[in-house]
Amino acid sequence: MSFLDYIGSNYPQILSLLIEHLKLTAISVGLAIVIGVPLGIFVSYTSKVEKAILSVANVIQAIPSMALLGFMIPLFGIGTIPAIVAVVLYSLLPIIKNTYTGIENINPQTLEAARGIGLTPFQVLIKIQIPLALPVIMAGVRIASVTAVGLMTMAAFIGAGGLGYLVFSGIRTVNNSQILAGAIPACLLALMVDYLIGLVEKLVTPMNLQKGDEALKKKKRTIQKSSLSVAALILAGIFLFTSTGGRVESARSISIGSKDFTEQEIIGNMMADLIEDRTDISVKRRLNLGGTQVCFEALKNGDIDLYVEYSGTAYTDTLKHPPINDMDQVYETVKTELKEKYDINVLKQMNFNNTFVLAVTQETAKKYGLENISDLAKEAGGLTSGLTFEFTNREDGLSGLQKTYHFQLGKNITLDNAPRYAALQNGTVDVIDAYATDGLLKKFGLKSLVDDEKFFPPYFAMPIIRGEVLEKYPEISAILEELSPLLTDEVMRELNYKVDELQEKPSEVALEFLKEHKLIS
């Protein structure tokens, strides 16, 4: 599907996410101004705290955005609040610094004259210092605003929405049209914000400091005021319309989450559709969140009520047990311990095992004679791997695999989920980790190596739900059990392929499957 075709068929979603992105950015920058300008004024009046406040702002600016979002999750959960807090923190430095600089650079003689005519310190601040410093302050706000537009794309990582949803989804499914559908509006929004705040910057600059003919300057100022008034009315209209246009949620409602890959979005939509069709429970979909840690933390905190986890992931990564290959023992241990430790109920396992696999191109398999992981172990020293962050940091991932098969990879490039496929195709890496039901394996015609030592534990999909929610809605368990026998490895791989290669929407693939099997009317 070409970029224009994608825009044509998905413009309502793109527009909705653009408005969401604009709202989040406006709120974040507004809060940053409310906090940053007073702090800048305070710093200019209190030299003792100048270094401390500016140093803290500098340190916050130096923290990687993904790391800062990770810190936000235990404190604020997922959604808009942690995203806004993170962007506010990033926006403070230019606003504080420019406010401080603007006030500090005012001619001392001007201030002395103001005091000489009897103005109080507060009057000097309001009538002299802030008006003269405004052009410099607005320059800081301008920098913060443009930066905030870009940073807010990261909000999708924790379920806050915005244009980042399209960017991350496109990267995950190797869909360049979807990536561009998120990136181009974000760039245009940044340019628009830069232009509008540039107009404000010119308006607050005294006319005698601007170059040009007086009459022309007055005419330009009139146009600038009109442009800003129109922009302000549009923004106010967006806030008013989107605040009052939402649907009223049922008193009986739950929130369903998912991890950030295709299969999870498909199953998340299936569960939501089934529950809404069979009951009067309204479902809030908070799909395409981060990895295991993000989703499980959200479940513990009550930000989501239900999501699909994998038995081996819960056993090794969450509960910290060494990997074993006994399906029944893994499931029963997970079921018992999640209930005892976190009051989380594990529902019936689904009928597919999305285990880890190591995958190579057909050319690489033929060149080195690779059929299983033992074959790979013999050639590992001369191969470059592209493994995901999660796989390299888990006991049931790289470290345990190397101990079991007694090998050491020559070089490993740690990558995010989707880019590893592109790296494999262009020859940057020779081997990647993947999921057994991943549609991209079929899309790129890759060879999955057999785990002949049976190292990987079982990774059967299983819905996990907060205890109090299941107690309130016990019917959910029986409803979701109907999915279990239908979702086999082959079926799940085909559903993933429809999204990853055929570019169908996860929600549509899920709904089509449920209707095909007569699970919903």
* Residue 208: predicted pLDDT: 62
Q: So where are the chain's domains?
A: 3-204, 206-244, 253-353+459-516, 356-449
* Residue 514: predicted pLDDT: 95
Q: Give tens-digit pLDDT for 315-362.
A: 988 999 988 889 999 999 999 999 999 999 999 999 999 888 999 999
353 or 219, which is more confident: 353
392 or 214, which is more confident: 392
Burial (CB < 10 A; 0-12, 13-18, 19+), residue 433, is: buried
- DSSP β-ladder status, 356-360 and 447-449: antiparallel
Does residue 248 surpass a pLDDT of 70?
Answer: no
Neighbouring CB atoms inside 10 A of 395's CB total 16
Q: Could you give the percent of the chain with pLDDT greater than 90?
A: 45
Q: Do domains 253-353+459-516 and 356-449 have the same CATH topology?
A: yes
Q: Give the ranges where 302-393 is alpha helix by DSSP (H).
A: 311-313, 327-342, 362-368, 373-379, 389-392
Does residue 57 surpass a pLDDT of 90?
Answer: no
- Band (211; pLDDT cuts 50, 70, 90): low
CA dihedral 80, 191, 137, 53 (to 10 degrees): 40
127 or 390, which is more confident: 127
- DSSP β-ladder status, 411-415 and 384-388: parallel
Query: Are the beta carbons of 433 and 441 closer than 8 angstroms?
Result: no
499 or 290, which is more confident: 499
- Band (274; pLDDT cuts 50, 70, 90): very high
Does residue 26 surpass a pLDDT of 60?
Answer: yes
Can you tell me the distance from the alpha carbon of 421 to that of 417, in angstroms, rounded to the nearest whole number? 8
Does residue 213 surpass a pLDDT of 70?
Answer: no
* Residue 244: predicted pLDDT: 54
For 183, the token pair is 């990136």
Residue with tokens 């190579």: 360
Span 512-520, average pLDDT = 93
* Residue 69: predicted pLDDT: 78
Span 185-203, average pLDDT = 88
Does residue 416 surpass a pLDDT of 80?
Answer: no
Which of 168, 126, 151 is CA-nearest to residue 61?
A: 151
Q: Give tens-digit pLDDT for 358-402.
A: 999 999 999 999 999 999 999 888 889 999 887 888 888 888 899
What is the third-level CATH fold of 3-204?
MetI-like fold (1.10.3720)
SS3 category, 310: strand
Does residue 39 surpass a pLDDT of 90?
Answer: yes
- DSSP β-ladder status, 253-257 and 282-286: parallel
- DSSP β-ladder status, 384-388 and 461-466: unpaired
Helix, strand, coil percentages (3-state) for the chain, rounded to 5, are 65, 10, 25
* CATH number belonging to the domain at 253-353+459-516, selected among 3.40.190.10, 3.30.1490.20, 3.60.15.10, 1.10.10.10: 3.40.190.10
Can you tell me the distance from the alpha carbon of 87 to that of 99, in angstroms, rounded to the nearest whole number? 19
* Residue 6: predicted pLDDT: 81
* Residue 315: predicted pLDDT: 94
* CATH number belonging to the domain at 356-449, selected among 3.30.70.80, 3.40.190.120, 3.40.50.10860, 3.40.50.300: 3.40.190.120
Half-sphere exposure of 478 (CA within 13 A, CB side): 6
Instruction: Name which of 146-155, 243-252, 342-351, 454-463 the model is least confident about.
Output: 243-252
Can you tell me the distance from the alpha carbon of 355 to that of 315, in angstroms, rounded to the nearest whole number? 13
Mean predicted lDDT score pLDDT of the chain: 87
- Band (511; pLDDT cuts 50, 70, 90): very high
* Residue 221: predicted pLDDT: 75
